[in-house]
Structure 1
């Protein structure tokens, strides 16, 4: 399927169907199970019943946010893997998530983070500063090589993570505001959250689509890509800007959810190969399905409460991912 033009559209179509199925399951299942008839009634003819309120006011908003954030982080992971030529790259490793989280924590401490909107802007500023800081540090000398970007990103992530920990441990008020957000969850997120991060997500996804062809040329090597007329610097900057915007949108909405970008990008490569024009939409769909599924599983196994989606992704997804990596060669 990975190599054929017929197989790829079919696979992409199946992913779309999978997202729709997971979306519907998220609306129907939870602490109270609803039939699809009740879900359809809630979506089309709201009468104010308990089932209608559960679907329209609770499950539909959080599922929509899950799809949006999952798509953002999935595409960010695929772009990072392409730019660094490292199948283990993802926003958390590259320092982008750490930059966004540090900016939010700093905003909490000084009192400028009081709403979703201020969280978005703090996360955006932190993510972009970390993104371009890594690029500048890695580009000193002979240029920003894939290995240099990965190593610099890991170092910046470690530094920002340590600084974030220092702030939250020394300030009890900041810790109270940070600890739930830092787990990574779509619980309690409504359409207001989706609306405030949507502009950043849309711009980031558009830049990712533009950057996909450039990534295909960069995969041939910088010299070959430059010989074909590609501006290496412009391609890197567009990719980094897309990664920063997408990660900022995801982190601001749901907290620093790790592993999702790694999972989506790698699984997409296993199915579609290394062609980025297919990888970008596939990673978006896989990321969306994975995050909504993790949120649904957390609701089903949590009993009276729930297990946050970020925790589920780490506990369930990581071992499965290791098994896949051990059994199959990594494709780049």
Structure 2
């Protein structure tokens, strides 16, 4: 609630917190009401949806791979989604629904590559090697995206602005477009939560409890693709949110994935809204790219995890 109120009060524009505060109580000037209700409020809702989606996706990936470094932005899932959207923009796609579907398809492809990598000998048991493989895939996808930007100058500016990550100016039509897929993803999360907790004890134990590990993996991959694709369609490829939030939630709740998922619900939006507010006020009257702030927050956490004594699988 604190970060949500801060997101409504502070911004890079001329409307200060003192001007915006009366709007929350039904007062204030016309300009302040317009900025708060028409600009900052949709941005707040977008931040909540994006933060929640990336946090849950990161927690699911980490539980499935039993790897504390598994994160959509680090392992090529967000990169695959971003590349697919860049292709769609180049081809002239303008519909919010089309962008969302393309983004989720790219995320599904990226997530499938991640799972293939974790099933390869040596990678599943070595978190650092898995991150290196993901970084290679991400770098390749970013390079291909840069090639697309060179191919069409008209689309290059839109791709360049979008790929840096931002929740500013996202129309409500985009939020309505991702809502159905988020509902489906939520249902899948509810279905896989308990089986994932059993799977953390080992495949044989999970099978003994009546679960099917192969089916669990497929459902988790689909859920992650829906969540990351929706978040990328809304805000672009944001890294480290899916790493930091599950790390904080797991530190507070313990290894039980069900408790971790519950804590991700408030922590994910709070972290993203905090990052977005900082992006607005640090360089006011300009704004920093949101992806830069999330990287500045997440990079130290990544180093802490790598250097900690709990680096092996979860």
| TM-score, normalised relative to structure 1 | 0.83
Match of 2:233 among 246, 252, 256: 252
How far apart, CA to CA, are the structure 1 residues paired with 2:259 and 2:212? 22
CA contact (8 A) 2:170 2:234 kept: yes
Is 2:117 aligned against 1:117?
Answer: no
Partner of 1:39: 23
> RMSD between aligned alpha carbons?
2.8
Residues 83-162 of structure 1 aligned to structure 2 (within 5 Å):
83-111=64-92, 113-135=93-115, 150=130, 153=134, 156-162=137-143
CA contact (8 A) 2:61 2:224 kept: yes
How far apart, CA to CA, are the structure 2 residues paired with 1:125 and 1:309? 24
Match of 2:221 among 240, 243, 254: 240
Measure how far apart 1:267 and its partner are: 1.0
Measure how far apart 1:87 and its partner are: 0.5
Aligned length: 308
- Listed as ranges, the gaps of 5+ residues in structure 2 are none
Partner of 2:6: 25
CA contact (8 A) 2:244 2:301 kept: no
Measure how far apart 1:302 and its partner are: 1.9
Q: 1:286 to 1:130 in 2, by over 3 A?
A: same
Q: 1:59 to 1:328 in 2, by over 3 A?
A: farther
CA contact (8 A) 1:84 1:147 kept: no
- Listed as ranges, the gaps of 5+ residues in structure 1 are 1-19
Residues 294-309 of structure 1 aligned to structure 2 (within 5 Å):
294-309=275-290
Q: 1:319 to 1:147 in 2, by over 3 A?
A: closer
Is 2:191 aligned against 1:210?
Answer: yes
Could you list the runs of 4 or more consecutive aligned residues of structure 1 that deviate by over 6 angstroms after TM superposition?
none
